[in-house]
Structures are given as structure tokens and as C-alpha cells.
A and B are shown apart, each in its own frame.
Chain A
Amino acid sequence: MERLTSLEKFHELQSTVRAERPEDRPQVIISAGTCGQARGANGVYDAFRDALAERNLSEKVELKRTGCHGYCEVEPNALVLPQGVFYAHLEPKNIAEIVDETIVNGRVVEKYVVANADGSEHFALAQELPFYRRQQRNLLTLNTLIEPTKIEDYLALDGYAAFAKALSSMSRPEVIEEMKRSGLRGRGGGGFPTGMKWEFCYKEQADLKYVVCNADEGDPGAYMDRSLLEGNPHVVIEGMLIGAYAVGAQHGYIYVRDEYPIAVRHLQIAIEQARELGLLGESILGTDFSFDLQMSRGAGAFVCGEETALLHSIESKRGMPRQRPPFPAQSGLWGKPTNINNVETWANVPLIVNKGADWFAAQGTEQSKGSKIFALVGKIRNTGLVEVPMGITLRELVYDVGGGIPNDKQIKAVQTGGPSGGCIPAHLLDLPVDFDALREAGSIMGSGGMVVMDEATCMVDVAKYFLEFLEGESCGKCTPCRMGTPLMLEIVERICDGHGTPEDLDTLESLAKTIKNCSLCGLGQTSPNPVLSTLRYFRDEYEAHVYDKVCPACLCQNLIRYEIDQDTCISCDRCRKACPVEAITGELKQHNYYIHNHLCIRCGACEEQCPVSAISRLPGYNPPADGAEAKKQSPSHSTAVGSAGGEQ
């Protein structure tokens, strides 16, 4: 493509690509982010390609492979436009029928559309789906319409128009003022006002300034940045161009997690395309503004999500945070003023410039404006990425958008904010989701991970999980974090193993507070949050582990036992075969199956293999001393009853 040397040329290209893409053209769009591809989206794509070719429709119908549409639960899925029919759980063998019925004859094939839980209602159109109805997809809509490796797709939908507008008709302070008025706050976790951050960097005098995109999405349970980069990398580049123009930066870096191969690939292609068109490089669109961008691949360190650690990593050093001030706006990459924002923050910038600060500020709550993407995962029916206005309640998110908890279980908590966040208990589900309300509840919004937990989740185990994570990811620079997290982990492990003492709970709390107050960086300061929030809301579970030596959720391996219910057991021998340590005895059809508690390693293999759910987990490592439980397990097996009852 020809390099664009002026604003007029840009507008010409924009009209050309728009004319080539009328909105009502027939399209088939396959959601093919990492998870879609893992579920077979590429096979579905090939089947559509072949089916369309066989019917001589390849020219008439545009087949697209896009990034993630968000509804990960029902992947692989396809959207048929212009009708807007949404097909879910597709297999290559279904495709011919869909092409014949929907594309040729204009009818909906009901068996492939999404139905509600009891199958009584079918939702043919994407906009009718309960999953999408409550969302406000400012950013994710483009993910469904754009083929990420085609810059023309993005250009046709106002792509780079915001940048052109800023460059041609707004002064630098005007752009910053617009960002400030919009009320946009950092989407990576901190929630710092973006406009103010830009202003700090703008005011610094320097021969060279940098802008950086933090795409080191490390929070386990969050993947919105991956999906944005995979599905619409140009929106991030455009946001950075606007930011670079505003603060006066000449060079930019996108620091992306190396664990996201598709995101890395699409980003690389997008940067090259933008460069080829002259949207990156010298004298952009014939102005005196020059800016270039390069990608820096992360190497696997959670702490590099912290901005000073990230800068060290781009400089090819160990990713260890440093004391602030000076803030990166004063002294960042190689000592130069640097403005860092997260992927989702950058992606919001073009929208704000295009549609205006007032449009953005009209959404959300008093202090948290706009929409936010959340990864709704864990024990929830509709897992996926959802974009909702700030201020929506957790209950609406979990039940209206997420469809509630599967398998008739009760919700126990929602974990937000990853390892720096906390667990919000079920009785606070009416909490509005914004930066401040979540912080008051002892958690944080973080980058937007929301892991739903049901009654089968042990909250002490969750605290242990995050401590293991943080202990491994602590960079080792400051003592409270380096020494404190392993100490906290040791205590929580002891509690999970059934050796906890009442003093442990107090020690844990005081350790947590010390680490919170004394650590150097955000990772350390927030690392006690999972412990503090579970102690605050689920102290009874800790106490059950400590005083009764019982795991109420029947999860901690040292505090549970497996038993066979003789009335339900069909004596099929599957459990005995599945047991890796020969802890189960019994003979086929003899109704004498029995789990030897002292041999059992609590791996769960028998429970999983049992076809009639006769094996269950019970609280307490040993059966009660009176032997009543043991009798229930094996009435005809006298020696076994003895061993179970007498063992320590």
C-alpha cells in the first residue's frame, strides 16, 4: 500500500476502504482467539471456506477469522451477517447445513443457536443473547468486526480517524484536557487518572520522551489484554500515537507477554502495516510529528507488570521495581520522561477522541467512568469476556450476564483483581463494581479478572494458592515481601494441613499488615490482600481448619477422607482400577468395595471414575471414633472397619 503523505490522502484511503465494505454485505465471522482456536475454530473456518466455495459463494460472502468475541463458553462460534445470527458450539460437519439454510435460504437453524439453561428459549440473534444484552461493548464490538491482520478493516470502521483528528485539529494541551475531562482511569489496576499522567509527562522538558504500553498481563484469571491485542492491535497502536503526540514522545514500546503467541504475531503485523502506510515513522501524514514503535517481549515475570520493573525489563535488566519518586513521567526508560499505560487504557483513547469526553464521561459512576472489560471465569455458566458500564453490581454481572452458577451450587465469593485483589463474599454481591467500592471492600478491580467461586471452593486454599503464586513471583529486592510472603505461606500451609494453632491466625494478620505497610512496590504492598480479605469475610473457615481440623469445602487433602456409600455402589470395580495406590479393595459384583483410609492419597481418581457418584469426600481425615461412619461404608467388611477405625 502507498505511504500516506498527507491528511487528504488518509481521508481518500478511508473512503475507498469504506466503499469496498458496505455495512450490509454478507459476512461469516469466526471467533478465533487463542481459546477459540483451542476449541476448533480453525476447523470451522475451513469448513465454511469449503462449503462456500462448493456453492460458488466465495466471492459473495466474506469469510473472516477474527479475535475473540468474548462468549468463550460457547466456542467455536460464528456470526452470520447481515442477519446477525449467532451459532454456537459448532463442528465442521454442521457447516454445510448452516450455509444452505441461513446464507442461501435466509432461515435460522435452531439446533445450533444458544438456548437458555432448560432449553425452553432459543436466542437466534447475537443482540438477543442474555450474555450480550447487558453489556456495553465499546471496545469489544470492534473485535467481532475486524480481521486483526487487515488494517483496511480497521480503517473502514473509523480506524486512525481519532489520531488524524488529534493531529490536525487539536493542540497537545487540548488532547490532554480531553482525556482529563473524560475521567478515564488506568485499566491495569492502579486506577490513576490517565489525563493527569499524560500532563506530568507533557510538562517535562527533554530531548527524548517515550510512551510504553503495558501488555504484561500477569494476573491469573484475566485475559482481556490478550484478546484486545489478538483481535484489534491497531486500536492500541492508535491510542499510543495519540498519547505520543500529546506528551511529545518520539518512540514507543509495547511490552507484551511472551506467553501470548497470537497477540505477539498480530501486533508485529499491525506495526509493520502502520509503518508501511506511514502512520508510524518520520513526518506522519506530512506533519512534523514523528513517532515509531517497537515490541519488547516479556520473559515471564509477574512483577514486570509493575511499571518501574517493566522499564528495567525493556532495558534488558532484571525486572526489579525501584523506589518512586522519581516517577517514570520524570525519569523512565533510560532516564527519559516516559508515559506508561495499560492495553485497555490505550484502547479507550481513540474512542474518547472520536466520540468526545462527554460521551465517555456519561457512562459509569461518579468516580469511575466508561466501560470496563472483565474476564468472568471460574464456577459460572457463561465464562468469557464481558464489557459492562462501570457501576454495574456484581450480582448483575454474575447472574444476568454470567447466567449464574452451574450444577445447582451456591456462590461463595468472587475473587477480583488477581493476586493483588481479594475475595468479595456472596452477601456483598450488590456492591457496584468500580475502583473505589471494590477497594473499600478489601479488594481491587485490578486488570479485571473475576473468578467466581462456589461452595466447593475452600477459601483458605485460595489464600494458599495466591501466596504460593506471590512467593514465587516476589523479585527478592525488599525484605518484607521476600521474607514475609514465605512466612505467611508457611502458616497457611500449616493451617491447610491441619496443624494450625489459634495464634497462627493472629500472627498471619500482623504479618500481613507489616508486609502491606513496608514493601517497596505494588506487588508486595498488595500481596497480603488475598489473606486479609479471606480472613475478614471467611474467618469461620480458617477457624474450622484450626479448631476442628475440618475443611468445610472438603478440599484440603489432609482434612478430608473418601468413602463409598454402599447403598449407591453398583460394585463395578472402576474405582479399584482407577486407584493409583491400591487403597481400594473389593470384588466385582460382590458389594464389598472399601477405601483404606491410611493408604489413600486423596487424589480423587475414584470419585471421578465412579459412574453413580457413590464415592464422596467427607470432612475430617479420620472417621469419627464411634465407628458409625465406618459402618456405613462397609457393613460386611469387618477387618476393614477395624483398620479404618483404629488408624491414626
Chain B
Amino acid sequence: MDLKRIDEIISQHTDTHDGAYPPVIPILQDIQSEYRWLPEPALVHTAKRLRVPLVDLYGIATFYQSFRLTPPGEHQINLCMGTACHVEGAPLILGKLERKLGIKAGEVTEDGKFGLDEVRCVGCCALAPVMVVDEDYHSLKGKKDVGKIIDEKRKSDEKVSN
């Protein structure tokens, strides 16, 4: 793991910051946008550099839902569990996705291709029920086959690798 990159991220924040407590959250956010999760060596290094107990970093990384301590899938599927999505049938869709992928929410498929997460409201309630695959928002209203979106993703990946 390239700890130099972690140092750069930390410096970007500590150089401009004037608060009493080091800006841990923005630093972790930037590390996560670099690696898509928070690898342990990165956390250990950050704790040393900032002179913050590792347990505090761990506390923050587990308190806030956007931080991941395990690698996500190559494609991350976030199923919205907001109120509007719930009344439009999101729980049944979750079941479908879990059966399709053979994993539970919060897990990643064995080949590492797909990760499935339940998320709180993504704020697109008019499209409910909503699924976000990577950056793309899909409205599943009236869509019977959610598996198709996954199949298509898989197919387009295969095309690229061929």
C-alpha cells in the first residue's frame, strides 16, 4: 500500500486546518474516495500521523455509515430503503436481488463483481423504488425484472474484457 499517497491526503487537510481537533472525517473521506474503502494499514498510518488513537478512528469509521472497512464489489448496488421506496415494495426487491446475486445485503459476491447494500433515502422519492448501481439511478417502478440490470452490467463487462 502506498503510504505516501496517504501522507499527501493528510497534508492537504492539516496544512489548511485551524480547528483544535484534526479533521479526521474529511481525511477518511478522501482516503475512501481513493481506495473505495478504508484498508487497515491506511487507518494505522493515519492514526500515527495525526497522533490520534486508532480506536478513535475506528470509532468514527464504524459510527458513520458511508465508511467501509471491507472492500466493496466492483459494481456497488445500493438499494434505497426510504419510506417512499418501502411503500412501493423495496423489501420484495431486496429479496429478489439477494436471490439473484446469492448474497445478503452488506455482502459482496464471491467473484467480487457485485456488492449489495441497503441505503437510507437517496432523495429520489419520485422515482421510488430506486436502485443505484455505481453512479446510475434506476427507477424500478413497474419493472418486473431487476435481475436484467445486473445481467446487462455483467455482459457489458465481459465485452470490455474481451
Binding site for B on A (CB under 8 A): 34-35, 37-39, 72-73, 75, 217-223, 226, 257-261, 296-302, 313, 315-319, 334, 375, 377-379, 383-384, 415, 418, 449, 451, 453, 457, 462, 465-466, 469, 473, 475, 580, 601, 603-605, 608-609
Candidates A72, A300, A383; contact of B64 at CB < 8 Å: A300
B3 at the interface (CB under 8 A from A): no
Is there an interface contact between B64 and A34, defined as CB atoms closer than 8 Å?
no
Q: Given the complex of chains A and B, what is the CA–CA distance between A325 and B19 in angstroms? A: 23
Q: Given the complex of chains A and B, what is the CA–CA distance between A302 and B29 in angstroms? A: 17
How far in angstroms is the closest Cβ of chain B from A146? 20
Is there an interface contact between A258 and B66, defined as CB atoms closer than 8 Å?
yes
Residues of A within 8 A of B23 (CB): 316
How far in angstroms is the closest Cβ of chain B from A335? 9
Residues of B within 8 A of A377 (CB): 83-84, 125-126, 128
B149 at the interface (CB under 8 A from A): no
Is there an interface contact between B87 and A603, defined as CB atoms closer than 8 Å?
no
Is there an interface contact between B87 and A451, defined as CB atoms closer than 8 Å?
yes
14 CB-based A-B contacts, threshold 8 Å = A35-B127, A218-B120, A220-B83, A226-B123, A296-B25, A299-B25, A299-B28, A317-B21, A377-B83, A378-B84, A603-B92, A603-B99, A604-B89, A608-B144
CB contacts under 8 Å to A, within B53-95, are 59-60, 63-67, 81-89, 92, 95
Candidates B25, B60, B87; contact of A457 at CB < 8 Å: B87
Shortest 8 CB-CB contacts between residues of A and residues of B: A72-B126, A38-B137, A220-B82, A299-B64, A300-B65, A220-B121, A300-B66, A223-B123
Candidates B59, B64, B123, B130; contact of A217 at CB < 8 Å: B123
Is there an interface contact between B20 and A415, defined as CB atoms closer than 8 Å?
no
Is there an interface contact between B25 and A316, defined as CB atoms closer than 8 Å?
yes
Select from chain A the residue with minimum beta-carbon distance to B130.
Answer: A38
Most interface-central of A258, A261, A466 (chain B CB within 10 A): A258
Is there an interface contact between B19 and A334, defined as CB atoms closer than 8 Å?
yes
How far in angstroms is the closest Cβ of chain A from B17? 9
Is there an interface contact between A34 and B124, defined as CB atoms closer than 8 Å?
yes
Is there an interface contact between A221 and B124, defined as CB atoms closer than 8 Å?
no
Residues of A within 8 A of B92 (CB): 603-604
How far in angstroms is the closest Cβ of chain B from A394? 17
Binding site for A on B (CB under 8 A): 19-26, 28-29, 59-60, 63-67, 81-89, 92, 95-96, 99, 119-128, 130, 135-139, 144
Residues of B within 8 A of A462 (CB): 86-87
Is there an interface contact between B126 and A383, defined as CB atoms closer than 8 Å?
yes
Residues of B within 8 A of A300 (CB): 64-67, 120
Residues of B within 8 A of A219 (CB): 121
Is there an interface contact between B21 and A39, defined as CB atoms closer than 8 Å?
no
Q: Given the complex of chains A and B, what is the CA–CA distance between A380 and B26 in angstroms? A: 39
Candidates A223, A299, A379, A475; contact of B65 at CB < 8 Å: A299
Q: Given the complex of chains A and B, what is the CA–CA distance between A35 and B125 in angstroms? A: 8
Select from chain A the residue with minimum beta-carbon distance to B127.
Answer: A35
Residues of A within 8 A of B24 (CB): 316
How far in angstroms is the closest Cβ of chain A from B114? 18
Residues of A within 8 A of B87 (CB): 378-379, 451, 453, 457, 462
How far in angstroms is the closest Cβ of chain B from A148? 16
Select from chain A the residue with minimum beta-carbon distance to B85.
Answer: A220
Q: Given the complex of chains A and B, what is the CA–CA distance between A296 and B29 in angstroms? A: 11
Is there an interface contact between B83 and A415, defined as CB atoms closer than 8 Å?
yes
Candidates B84, B95, B135; contact of A220 at CB < 8 Å: B84
Most interface-central of B120, B125, B126, B135 (chain A CB within 10 A): B126
Q: Given the complex of chains A and B, what is the CA–CA distance between A482 and B120 in angstroms? A: 19
Residues of A within 8 A of B126 (CB): 35, 72-73, 75, 377, 383-384
Candidates A221, A415, A453, A601; contact of B121 at CB < 8 Å: A221
Q: Given the complex of chains A and B, what is the CA–CA distance between A475 and B67 in angstroms? A: 16
Select from chain A the residue with minimum beta-carbon distance to B61.
Answer: A299
Is there an interface contact between A316 and B63, defined as CB atoms closer than 8 Å?
no
Q: Given the complex of chains A and B, what is the CA–CA distance between A97 and B96 in angstroms? A: 41
Candidates A35, A72, A221; contact of B83 at CB < 8 Å: A221
Candidates A313, A334, A383; contact of B125 at CB < 8 Å: A383
Select from chain B the residue with minimum beta-carbon distance to A315.
Answer: B21
Is there an interface contact between B83 and A301, defined as CB atoms closer than 8 Å?
no
Q: Given the complex of chains A and B, what is the CA–CA distance between A393 and B81 in angstroms? A: 28
How far in angstroms is the closest Cβ of chain A from B69? 13
Q: Known contacts being A220-B84, A316-B24, is A35 close to B137, with CB within 8 Å?
A: yes
Q: Known contacts being A219-B121, A300-B66, A302-B120, is A449 close to B83, with CB within 8 Å?
A: yes
Residues of A within 8 A of B119 (CB): 259
Is there an interface contact between A316 and B123, defined as CB atoms closer than 8 Å?
no
Q: Given the complex of chains A and B, what is the CA–CA distance between A604 and B96 in angstroms? A: 10
Is there an interface contact between A223 and B125, defined as CB atoms closer than 8 Å?
yes
Residues of B within 8 A of A37 (CB): 137
Residues of B within 8 A of A260 (CB): 123
Select from chain B the residue with minimum beta-carbon distance to A468.
Answer: B81
Q: Known contacts being A319-B64, A609-B144, is A469 close to B120, with CB within 8 Å?
A: yes
Q: Given the complex of chains A and B, what is the CA–CA distance between A580 and B26 in angstroms? A: 44
Is there an interface contact between A39 and B123, defined as CB atoms closer than 8 Å?
no
Q: Known contacts being A39-B127, A316-B25, A334-B19, is A299 close to B83, with CB within 8 Å?
A: no
Q: Known contacts being A39-B139, A259-B123, is A313 close to B25, with CB within 8 Å?
A: yes
Residues of A within 8 A of B138 (CB): 38
Candidates A223, A318, A383, A465; contact of B63 at CB < 8 Å: A318
Residues of A within 8 A of B59 (CB): 318
Most interface-central of B92, B121, B137 (chain A CB within 10 A): B121
Q: Given the complex of chains A and B, what is the CA–CA distance between A457 and B87 in angstroms? A: 7
With contacts A317-B21, A603-B92 known, what are 14 further pairs, Cβ within 8 A?
A: A34-B137, A38-B137, A39-B127, A220-B83, A220-B120, A301-B64, A302-B120, A316-B60, A319-B63, A377-B126, A378-B84, A378-B125, A383-B128, A465-B86
How far in angstroms is the closest Cβ of chain B from A83? 26
Q: Given the complex of chains A and B, what is the CA–CA distance between A415 and B83 in angstroms? A: 9
Q: Given the complex of chains A and B, what is the CA–CA distance between A37 and B124 in angstroms? A: 11
Q: Known contacts being A220-B83, A221-B84, is A299 close to B66, with CB within 8 Å?
A: yes
Select from chain B the residue with minimum beta-carbon distance to A38.
Answer: B137
Select from chain B the residue with minimum beta-carbon distance to A294.
Answer: B16
How far in angstroms is the closest Cβ of chain A from B145? 9
Q: Known contacts being A38-B137, A608-B144, is A301 close to B63, with CB within 8 Å?
A: yes
Is there an interface contact between B124 and A38, defined as CB atoms closer than 8 Å?
yes
Candidates B67, B82, B86, B124; contact of A35 at CB < 8 Å: B124
How far in angstroms is the closest Cβ of chain B from A411? 12
Most interface-central of B25, B59, B81 (chain A CB within 10 A): B25
